[in-house]
Amino acid sequence: MSPEAEWEAPEGSWASSAARRRNMQAIRSRDTKPEILIRRLVHAAGLRYRVAARPLPDLRRTADMVFRSAKVAVFIDGCYWHGCPEHYVPPKTNSGYWSEKVVRNVKRDRDTDERLREAGWLVLRFWEHEPSGACADKIALTVLARRQGDATRGD
């Protein structure tokens, strides 16, 4: 009998099995393939940014890409973890825990957006399934436009 077959999830555990636990722990929170592709394209366009940085020092949340001078924060959201309306599929095991987790993530995302906007930041959010080139183009155009806007105001 394998160790996974012997293992039972403790009451209230977030993992339904040892195998599921290992699988979920292996999921990256940063440097995902979509993030890396978009960052490479934005970098190739000549733009520089901070990776996995806090836009606001007093807010314990990080954006995937931060353009401080333009005050643009970019998030590339995973379809499962952030509740994509097209691709989110509720889990079959331990569904109560995971569904609640996704709801909390979405609420936190909205709260983050609101706090950043109140501080004068522009928030760009993309889903992991969106074409990387289109995302990179929108990021580059937005950052350049914000920088030009600052230059024309003489700030």
SS3 assignment for the chain? CCHHHHCCCCCCCCCCCHHHHHHHHCCCCCCCHHHHHHHHHHHHCCCCCEEEECCCCCCCCCEEEEECCCCEEEEEECCCCCCCCCCCCCCCCCHHHHHHHHHHHHHHHHHHHHHHHHCCCEEEEEECCCCHHHHHHHHHHHHHHHHHHHHHHCC
CA-to-CA separations, 101 to 29, 82, 90, in angstroms, rounded: 15, 9, 11
| Length reported for the chain | 155
**CATH of residue 95:** 3.40.960.10
Q: Are residues 45 and 19 in the same domain?
A: no
Q: Are residues 5 and 71 in the same domain?
A: no
Q: Are residues 64 and 101 in the same domain?
A: yes
Q: Are residues 95 and 128 in the same domain?
A: yes
pLDDT in tens, 86-125: 999 888 888 888 899 999 999 999 999 999 999 999 999 9
Residue in this structure with the two tokens 């007093």, named with its chain if needed? 58
pLDDT in tens, 48-77: 999 999 999 999 999 999 999 999 999 999
Q: Which domain holds residue 117?
A: 31-153
Say what the pTM is.
0.80
Q: Are residues 85 and 147 in the same domain?
A: yes
